[in-house]
Copies of this chain bind each other. A is one copy, B any other.
């Protein structure tokens, strides 16, 4: 049996143990956007560091310092920098993943406890917060290393690791950490990296593996409106004062329309129209509007034309209204006039857009609209975090290696996609290392990342682990 064959065999025969390990990771509530959960994020980092050590990976925990969040000064969770192998005859692959997760409450609509991994034998789903975003993919790499270690097979490449705990909250401090390792040259742990592989996104449907060569950026904002000194009784004060909610809701209503068009002048207009070659690219994809509606769980596609929907996600900016902080959000009928409210929204960016380019447009527009109200309330636009968009060269050997790995494991040619999501660090790697960066998704479009009942299909976890390992062999074999 070839090394590759016995590696694959090991993955199959140890599937249950791998799923058990995923359960341990999911059980740690590493929510980076909630100050009350910060300690759990750090616990998760230590757990992951311990796993890497057991597998023979040399690591260091990089202190990223502190930051202000929710009125507190908080320790940032450490970046885990690791290395395995330094054979000059081998290529060196840098792997990235994040061990923090999005918030999740059972009351959000989960069928099961979000932080208890549920193995649904009927559907073959592994259900739990972080299963697909991004704990499953990180553990996929651990599965590969464990197989080689226990089989006594040498890894086909040298590996470097960069695992962070703040991806869901703007990757604070990570860019500096990466640039530091690069700047150190020979002393830096990222010295000699030939390519980067990130597994933190999804197929565009539930059938066909994908390779992702583009990502949207993001700019996340809060519109803060305040006036009264405290919340007021709507009976006592209704129609006597300027109500912050009235101003906020009006401003939020002026950001995006029902067709997804962004109403902030100059943002949609930044994007060049696609030429015929680009249009064809979307037309040939294995994709239908039924796919998007299956993934969304409702017949709500913005268009019946798949190219319109694909372009909406891959090559156009989008604006989503996430919610309001400070207003009444519980069940029941509270007759309150909230005194201070923050309307949260974010804009997904595509080239040539950047947070720096669009933020002034957002501020100017909202300030001019608010001025029209002649309201005595105060309004302030707060930029919370963001990242630039990214596009890569799909003809590079890094993408070729991943294509061959997918064909070997799944017997299918992958779709080449641009993703709607944002992974700002992708750009940092591309720019600071100057090497090709590949996005190799493990999960499917209907995994429900950032949503209720997040899942990773068992087959995607196990076959996906094989793809990651096979990809390393293909990288080693590449000219």
Contact = CB atoms under 8 A, between A and B. Distances in A.
A200 to B, nearest CB: 11
A420 B376 contact: no
B103 A235 contact: no
Contacts of A333: 33, 168-170, 220, 344, 346, 384-385
Contacts of A338: 322-323
Contact of A242 (B246, B258, B450): B258
A334 B103 contact: yes
Interface string A232-264: 111111111111011101101100111010000
A277 to B, nearest CB: 22
Tell me the number of copies of this protein: 2
Nearest to A297: B229
Interface residues on A, range: 35 or more
A202 interface: yes
A332 interface: yes
A233 B329 contact: no
B332 A235 contact: no
A320 interface: yes
Nearest to A310: B240
- Specify which of A103, A216, A238, A250 lies most central, judged by the most chain B CB atoms within 10 Å of its CB: A238
A302 interface: yes
A330 to B, nearest CB: 6
A339 B323 CA distance: 12
Interface in A290-343: 292, 295-302, 309, 312-313, 316-325, 327-340
A231 interface: yes
Contact of A292 (B168, B240, B318, B328): B240
Contacts of A377: 300
Interface in A410-457: 419-422, 445, 448-453
A300 to B, nearest CB: 4
A106 to B, nearest CB: 13
A374 interface: yes
A47 interface: no
A430 B285 CA distance: 71
A208 to B, nearest CB: 16
Contact of A33 (B102, B229, B317, B332): B332
Nearest to A309: B240
Contacts of A354: none
Interface string A372-401: 011111000000110000000000000000
A24 interface: no
B348 A235 contact: yes
A356 interface: no
Nearest to A169: B333
Contacts of A292: 237, 240-241
Contacts of A453: 230
A301 to B, nearest CB: 6
A34 B330 contact: yes
B258 A373 contact: yes
Contacts of A34: 330-332
A273 to B, nearest CB: 15
B313 A336 contact: no
B330 A239 contact: no
- Specify which of A168, A331, A376, A421 lies most central, judged by the most chain B CB atoms within 10 Å of its CB: A331
A176 interface: no
Given A240-B302, A297-B229, A313-B238, A322 B336 contact: yes
A218 interface: yes
23 contacts: A33-B330, A34-B331, A109-B231, A216-B235, A228-B296, A229-B297, A233-B449, A234-B320, A234-B322, A235-B348, A237-B420, A239-B317, A239-B420, A241-B298, A242-B302, A245-B320, A258-B374, A322-B335, A323-B324, A323-B338, A324-B327, A324-B329, A336-B450
Please provide the 6 A-B residue pairs with the shortest distance between their CB atoms, ordered closest to farther.
Answer: A229-B297, A235-B421, A238-B318, A33-B332, A323-B327, A323-B328
Interface of A: 33-35, 69-70, 102-103, 108-109, 168-170, 202, 216, 218, 220, 226-243, 245-247, 249-250, 252-253, 256-258, 260, 292, 295-302, 309, 312-313, 316-325, 327-340, 344, 346, 348, 373-377, 384-385, 419-422, 445, 448-453
